Amino acid sequence: MLAESVVLCLMCWVVTSGEDLYMNRALKLMSETPLIDGHNDLPWQLRKLFNNQLNQVELNTLETTHTNIPKIKKGRLGAQFWSAYVPCDTQYKDAVRQTLEQIDVIHRMCHKYPNDFMFATSSQDIMEAFRHNKTASLIGVEGGHSIDSSLGTLRTLYQLGVRYLTLTHSCNTPWADNWLVDTGAEPSQQNGLSPFGKQVIAEMNRVGMLIDLAHVSVRVMNQVLDMSKAPVIFSHSSAFSICPHKRNVPDDVLKRVNENGGIVMVNFYNDYVACSQTATLSNVADHFDHIRKVAGAGIIGFGGDYDGVTRLPEGLEDVSKVPNLVAELLRRGWSDDDVKAALGNNLLRVLKRAEEVRDSLSSNKPDDVPIPYSEVKNPCRTSYGYDDKGNGGIIHSLSIMSLLLSLTLHSTIPLITS
């Protein structure tokens, strides 16, 4: 009996020591490479719970959210894209104002907690914050309705520090179809991207804003991959082959993201992880394994969607638990380099490349041709600047036709050299 107890205790010690070894290794890697998470909705919780009255909130003691400062520290969160999200029912109403208020509350978070957060807009900023043991705080706007079909608004958001735009949320915009189109729950309005939607993509490349495909239809995914000069991101999406939910990314698109140099940041929401209301940390790791198998470790990132979802896997209940997932990847045989790539090196590469594309296009003029008024006309919108017929882009359309004709002729004329 004593011998059996000794053997049992020894087995438990071996298992515990092994798990401690993986966790210790995980924490070491996280001390060397910043964990960059692609999507956290704490700002929306501040809106819902406190109407953005940040003076009434203490993020060191707030316990009703997945995210607070102690949880961030325990989770070794090196950088976070905070989501400036406003719901689809603000479209055609006050989406821009409400988005600006969400951007404002993110800025105020950084000002209120300067020892914990550092506002960041670049790959260089992320590394500087990491060296100072602060969480680099970036902004992503979740939903193209937030720009109200305005390239001027897009540029203004970039000037305010926004570094990605999710092209749609769970509704179509006048220029792009959302993921619900693929379920049949909503009709396609643009068969993907409209001509103005393609203007948006080109202008995002020009200013250096990351294109987030997390909520779009598969057709939009492929159209953007066809035309974007910069890498794309999926800020919080998982693998369709593991859980066939239309918010996830199919294998053929994963391969194209690899070719594009982009990144898929894995979402932790149970419904996208296990296609069920319940899930485990192991289910999430399955998505990491699958994406690595299909398209390589170079396109993987973390996109937890904390404070934006109602159900999270066992073992990943809040932001403090993310090291558990890193340890699980190591337990599954991931190399240190692959783990570091997923932690932050992939996103740093993507952001640097977007900055390089921006710099290469710096001589290009801003696109100031508006969306046709007929595509946005509604009782809440005025028509200042348009003519009586609602025209605003006819000159641009003709110039585009001329450019396409020129390119076609150029491609068919043999190159003559002396």
Superfamily of domain 34-371+388-400: Metal-dependent hydrolases (3.20.20.140)
Catalytic residue among 37, 125, 142, 338: 142
- Given a cut of 50, is residue 112 above it in pLDDT? yes
Least confident of 13-27, 80-94, 225-239: 13-27
- Given a cut of 80, is residue 6 above it in pLDDT? no
User: If we measure between CA atoms, which residue out of 335, 260, 250 comes closest to residue 291?
Assistant: 250
Distance (Å, whole) CA 1 – CA 18: 26
Tell me the residue type at 227: M
Catalytic residue among 212, 305, 307, 328: 305
Check: CB of residue 110 under 8 Å from CB of residue 119.
yes
Residue 3's pLDDT band (cuts 50, 70, 90): low
pLDDT at 7: 45
> Facing residues of 314 across strands?
280
pLDDT at 236: 98
State mean pLDDT over 142-166. 98
Q: Which of the pair, 10 or 146, is modelled with greater confidence?
A: 146
pTM of the model: 0.90
Catalytic residue among 145, 169, 245, 287: 169
Distance (Å, whole) CA 373 – CA 79: 40
The question of whether 169 is a catalytic residue gets the answer yes
pLDDT tens column, 247-262: 999 999 999 999 999 9
Catalytic residue among 215, 245, 287, 290: 215
Distance (Å, whole) CA 400 – CA 406: 10
State mean pLDDT over 394-416. 41
Q: Which of the pair, 2 or 347, is modelled with greater confidence?
A: 347
pLDDT at 1: 56
Distance (Å, whole) CA 197 – CA 411: 26
DSSP per residue, 274-311: TSSS--BHHHHHHHHHHHHHHH-GGGEEE---BTT-S-
The question of whether 410 is a catalytic residue gets the answer no
State mean pLDDT over 291-315. 98
Catalytic residue among 41, 116, 148, 289: 41
Distance (Å, whole) CA 124 – CA 128: 6
Residue 388's pLDDT band (cuts 50, 70, 90): confident
Residue 403's pLDDT band (cuts 50, 70, 90): very low
Check: CB of residue 241 under 8 Å from CB of residue 277.
no
The question of whether 305 is a catalytic residue gets the answer yes
Residue 5's pLDDT band (cuts 50, 70, 90): low
Catalytic residue among 66, 236, 245, 290: 236
Check: CB of residue 313 under 8 Å from CB of residue 296.
no
The question of whether 142 is a catalytic residue gets the answer yes
Both structure tokens of 223: 């159209």
pLDDT at 397: 46
pLDDT tens column, 323-372: 999 999 999 999 999 999 999 999 999 999 999 999 999 999 999 999 99
Domain boundaries of the chain, sorted by first residue: 34-371+388-400
pLDDT tens column, 8-36: 444 444 445 667 999 999 999 999 999 99
- Given a cut of 90, is residue 407 above it in pLDDT? no
Check: CB of residue 34 under 8 Å from CB of residue 340.
no
Cβ count near 189 (within 10 Å)? 16
Distance (Å, whole) CA 344 – CA 29: 11
DSSP per residue, 316-384: -SSGGGHHHHHHHHHHTT--HHHHHIIIIIHHHHHHHHHHHHHHHTTTSPP--PPPPGGGT--TT---T
Mean pLDDT taken over the chain: 92
